[in-house]
């Protein structure tokens, strides 16, 4: 199966809280897992990406956790800020194949 299932569809978090978005995949051939952030009126932009040889990758307040055996990966946003309010997409890919996208999560950070 080529699907990537993303949850939740929408998320409201208080400023300073932790935002968590989850994705699950079926195809064990996937070896590249990026997260994209999209603001209204803009194209998506890469936030952070991970490959299956590591279980966690951190860049500033953003962390990807990867569980190869469960075929799941998640995005954690620490100390969430109003400027983080956006739509987040997870994706997966493997060599010479297109990115398979999750359905997106609309994140709202309440001040």
Confirm or reject binding of residue 34 to another protein (CB under 8 A).
Answer: yes
* Interaction of residue 99 with another protein, rule CB under 8 A: yes
Specify the stretch interacting with another protein by CB under 8 A; choose among 19-27, 30-38, 52-60, 67-75: 30-38
Interaction of residue 93 with another protein, rule CB under 8 A: yes
- How many Å is the maximal CA-CA distance in the chain? 42
Q: In the structure encoding, which two tokens stand for residue 104, read together?
A: 């997106």
Which one of the spans 20-28, 44-52, 63-71, 76-84 is the region binding another protein (CB under 8 A)?
Answer: 44-52
In angstroms, the Cα distances linking 75 to 6, 8, 12, 18, 31 are: 11, 12, 15, 10, 17
Q: Spell out where the chain has E strands.
A: 4-7, 10-14, 19-25, 33-38, 45-50, 56-59, 62-67, 72-77, 86-92, 100-101, 105-110
Asked if 89 touches another protein (CB under 8 A), the answer is yes
Nearer to another protein, 77 or 100 (CB): 100
What are the residues binding another protein (CB under 8 A)? 31-32, 34, 41-46, 49, 89, 93-104
């Amino acid at each position: 199966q080529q699907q990537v299932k993303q949850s939740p569809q929408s998320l409201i978090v208080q400023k300073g809280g932790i935002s968590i978005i989850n994705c699950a995949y079926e195809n064990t051939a996937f070896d590249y897992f990026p997260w994209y952030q999209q603001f209204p009126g803009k194209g998506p932009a890469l936030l952070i990406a991970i490959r299956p040889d590591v279980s966690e990758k951190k860049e500033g307040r953003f962390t990807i956790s990867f569980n190869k055996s469960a075929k799941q990966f998640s995005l954690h946003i620490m100390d969430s800020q109003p400027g983080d309010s956006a739509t987040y997409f997870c994706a997966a890919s493997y060599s010479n194949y297109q990115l398979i996208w999750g359905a997106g999560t609309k994140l709202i950070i309440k001040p």
